Amino acid sequence: MALYATAASVLAGVESRRGSIKGLVYASSFQNVKQLYALVCETQRYSSVLDAVITSAGLLRAEKKLRPHLAKVLVYELLLGKGFKGGSGGRWKPLLDRHQARLKAELARLKVHRGVSKNEDLLQVESKPGPASQVPRFVRVNTLKTCCDDAVDYFKRQGFSYQGRASSLEDLRALKGKCFLLDPLLPELLVFPAQTDLHDHPLYQAGHLILQDKPRACSACQASCLPAVLLAPPPGSHVIDACAAPGNKTSHLAALLKNQGKIFAFDLDAGRLASMATLLARAGVSCCELAEEDFLAISPSDQRYRQVWRPDGWRSPGRAHLARRACRPWLGSSGEHCATRSLSPPCSVWSTPRAPSAKRRMKTWCGTPCSTTRGPSG
């Protein structure tokens, strides 16, 4: 079944640091995103338990063609999930049927060994919800389609309690139930309790809300909104987003530009660009030109980019210091970061700096020394 193969592919991608669960799920071609996301998250949550059961049952030794990530997904569904009912499981069901008794016996033995009676009690400290699961849900109001006041009123009519603007990060961490706040630092950023699921909310489906990826700390999620705010391009500007997918920064830029001007958005991954195109269409972005290219491979003298905006304020020590301080959660400790670089503090995978020629090209673009280190996308 495509569900299990896709879930295994997402798990492998997360393990190899090709992206986040959310990013890889949305970049896949599987249509039921919510089902896929839930399966991947739960399989990862029980990862250590599944590894122990699969190893003790000798499943991978017996089934040489079964890949480890797919085995983990299938065993989760068999033992801890909804099971294979009706036609679910496809060609994998007969394989699991052959090993079902042994797998169930190993799970029971593991529970006896650890002195627990429920499956959820098997979770080790490292596989229980960690700090990331306690981070509030950050939601940016898409001002291309609505305003913050209208979004707040909509949630209030749905029974949510609006608590006003937060005064500290502690206010955000203390959120519970159906309460929500306005972020203390950034306009149009609403904050909900950690477990709030808005993927099926009508405002999200209509593109009025943009869900920010869940990071490991409140400041990191706020920081994912900072590049566009710090750049602050006036309407009519031409802007480059050097590593654009999955599109949150790009849609934020379009909102600040009021869809007036041009955004040149680059990314090397065709699948992520396709998902980004869907996100931008839903958000009502009409000023963006997508390119499946390496930003560092294009020519700064290309006439298409002659109007790209470089604010003079980024040359001043105070502004540069503000940018470094605000972006410190992902950028590290040193280096001048110009306007063009600031659009992509998050790329998809951290890597070592590129060759000197790439650094020189970034300097040609920006007019200041720039880091070519890449980080997680946003």
Q: Tell me how many domains the chain contains.
A: 3
Q: Which of 108, 127, 146 is the last residue of a domain?
A: 127
| Residue 355 marked in a binding site | no
Query: Do 356 and 233 share a domain, yes or no?
Result: yes
| Residue 221, pLDDT score | 56
Q: Considering the domain boundaries, does residue 261 fall inside one?
A: yes
Q: Considering the domain boundaries, does residue 376 fall inside one?
A: no
| Residue 85, pLDDT score | 58
Q: What is the CATH number of the domain that holds 354?
A: 3.40.50.150
Q: Which of 185, 214, 243 is the last residue of a domain?
A: 214
Query: Do 231 and 360 share a domain, yes or no?
Result: yes
* Local confidence band at 363 (pLDDT 50, 70, 90 cut-offs): very low
Query: What's the mean pLDDT in 29-55?
Result: 90
Q: Which domain holds residue 95?
A: 2-127
Q: Considering the domain boundaries, does residue 301 fall inside one?
A: yes
Two tokens, residue 256: 């600040």
Residue 212 contacts by C-beta under 8 Å, 6 or more apart in sequence? Answer: 138, 139, 140, 189, 221, 224, 225, 248, 378
Query: Do 169 and 269 share a domain, yes or no?
Result: no
Query: Do 255 and 291 share a domain, yes or no?
Result: yes
| Residue 121 marked in a binding site | no
- In angstroms, rounded to a whole number, what is the distance separating the alpha carbons of residues 308 and 238? 5
Q: Which residue has the higher pLDDT, 29 or 178?
A: 178
φ, ψ (nearest 5 deg) of residue 226 = -70, -35
Q: Identify the bridge partners of residue 236 per DSSP, sorted by sequence position.
A: none
- In angstroms, rounded to a whole number, what is the distance separating the alpha carbons of residues 334 and 364? 19
Question: Above 50 in pLDDT, residue 352?
Answer: no
Query: Do 87 and 188 share a domain, yes or no?
Result: no
Q: What is the CATH number of the domain that holds 169?
A: 3.30.70.1170
Q: 236-277 pLDDT, tens per residue? A: 999 999 888 888 899 999 999 999 999 999 998 888 888 899
Residue 209: which of 173, 169, 255 has the closest Cα? 255
Q: Considering the domain boundaries, does residue 373 fall inside one?
A: no
Residues 91 and 63: beta-carbon distance below 8 Å: no
- In angstroms, rounded to a whole number, what is the distance separating the alpha carbons of residues 240 and 231? 11
Q: What is the mean pLDDT of the chain?
A: 77
Q: 287-323 pLDDT, tens per residue? A: 999 999 988 888 888 888 888 876 655 544 444 444 4
Query: Do 172 and 157 share a domain, yes or no?
Result: yes
Q: Considering the domain boundaries, does residue 240 fall inside one?
A: yes
| Residue 267 marked in a binding site | yes
Query: What's the mean pLDDT in 134-151?
Result: 92
| Residue 312, pLDDT score | 59
Query: Do 293 and 241 share a domain, yes or no?
Result: yes
- In angstroms, rounded to a whole number, what is the distance separating the alpha carbons of residues 141 and 151? 7
| Residue 32 marked in a binding site | no
| Residue 342, pLDDT score | 36
Tell me the Ramachandran region of residue 296: left when phi exceeds 0, alpha when psi lies from -120 to 50, beta otherwise: alpha
**CA distances for 335 relative to 174, 284, 328, 360, angstroms:** 36, 35, 11, 14
Query: Do 93 and 173 share a domain, yes or no?
Result: no
| Residue 247 marked in a binding site | yes
Our measurement of the distance from residue 290's CA atom to the centroid of its chain's CA atoms, rounded to an integer in Å, reads 19
Residue 147: which of 177, 190, 196, 85 has the closest Cα? 190
The total of other beta-carbon atoms located within 10 Å of residue 372's CB is 18
Query: What's the mean pLDDT in 196-218?
Result: 80
Q: Considering the domain boundaries, does residue 199 fall inside one?
A: yes
Residue 79: which of 56, 46, 112, 48 has the closest Cα? 46
Q: Considering the domain boundaries, does residue 371 fall inside one?
A: no
Query: Do 331 and 250 share a domain, yes or no?
Result: yes
Question: Above 80 in pLDDT, residue 1?
Answer: no
* Most confident region among 50-59, 61-70, 143-152 by mean pLDDT: 143-152
Torsion, CA 29, CA 30, CA 31, CA 35, rounded to 10: -150
β-strands 161-165, 179-182 pairing: parallel
Residues 18 and 348: beta-carbon distance below 8 Å: yes
- In angstroms, rounded to a whole number, what is the distance separating the alpha carbons of residues 139 and 79? 35
What is this structure's pTM?
0.57
Q: Considering the domain boundaries, does residue 109 fall inside one?
A: yes
- In angstroms, rounded to a whole number, what is the distance separating the alpha carbons of residues 281 and 336? 34
Q: For the chain, how big is the Rg over CA atoms in Å?
A: 23
Q: Which residue has the higher pLDDT, 256 or 364?
A: 256
Query: Do 7 and 121 share a domain, yes or no?
Result: yes
Query: Do 310 and 352 share a domain, yes or no?
Result: yes
Tokens 């993927």 — which residue? 199
| Residue 158, pLDDT score | 94
| Residue 243 marked in a binding site | yes
- In angstroms, rounded to a whole number, what is the distance separating the alpha carbons of residues 181 and 325? 25
| Residue 317 marked in a binding site | no
- In angstroms, rounded to a whole number, what is the distance separating the alpha carbons of residues 378 and 374? 12
% the chain with pLDDT above 90: 32
- In angstroms, rounded to a whole number, what is the distance separating the alpha carbons of residues 48 and 1? 24
The total of other beta-carbon atoms located within 10 Å of residue 277's CB is 16
Query: Do 122 and 10 share a domain, yes or no?
Result: yes
Q: 56-104 pLDDT, tens per residue? A: 989 988 888 889 999 999 999 989 887 765 556 567 778 888 888 999 9
